[in-house]
Amino acid sequence: MIASAEMDDWFNINGKGLGEYSGWYICDGRNGTPDLRGRFLVGRDVFNSDASYSNIGNKGGLDKVVLTVDEMPSHFHTFQAQTSASGEHSHNYNDITYADGCDVIVPTYRGIASGRANNKACQIGRTTQQTSAHSHSISGSTGNIGGSKPQENRPPYY
């Protein structure tokens, strides 16, 4: 970055070079110059199949690029986890069973009815047996994701 006071000796108010800078211009879009602020210069290449570089005055590139899933490299993730050991414990769970004579409460449009069920499904609260302290391990990997397709990654250019 050049201080403005120093540039006053090098360029006139219109951006035209003075003295040893004669023939140079500040390219900020004034006085017929291209606006090159925040852009890289790219040389013309008539042999390149990419028309972006073969025509004078073309602009392109991006300040920011957000990749789509198809543009991300194809990849997967692995994972591994382990619970910490817990003391002696049991777990509660609900069991659905089919048996004669289960006590059930059935909601109706007028309220709640209760009675005995014959060969009906009943939900019964149960508890596992006590077990000693232990931990659990889990590991695996995700499926592949990403299409490895090309994306625009050139900075803004002129």
pLDDT in tens, 111-153: 544 555 455 666 677 788 888 888 889 999 999 999 999 988 8
pLDDT value at 156 more than 70: yes
pLDDT digits 0-9 by tens, 4-44 = 666 677 888 888 888 888 888 888 888 888 888 998 888 87
The C-alpha atoms of residue 14 and residue 127 are separated, in whole angstroms, by: 87
Distance CA 73, CA 148 (A): 4
- Is 124 found in the same domain as 95? yes
> Is 82 in the same domain as 136?
yes
Q: What is the pLDDT of residue 119?
A: 52
Same domain (yes/no): 30, 82: no
Same domain, 137 and 87: yes
Give 29 or 100, the one with higher predicted confidence.
Answer: 29
Residues 91 and 137 in one domain: yes
Could you tell me if 64 and 117 lie in one domain?
Answer: no
Domain boundaries, position 154: 41-76+145-158
The model's confidence at residue 101, banded by pLDDT at 50, 70 and 90, is: low
The pLDDT, as a whole number, for residue 145 is 94
> How much is the pTM?
0.43
For the chain, the domain total comes to 3
85/110 same-domain check: yes
Radius of gyration of the chain (CA): 37
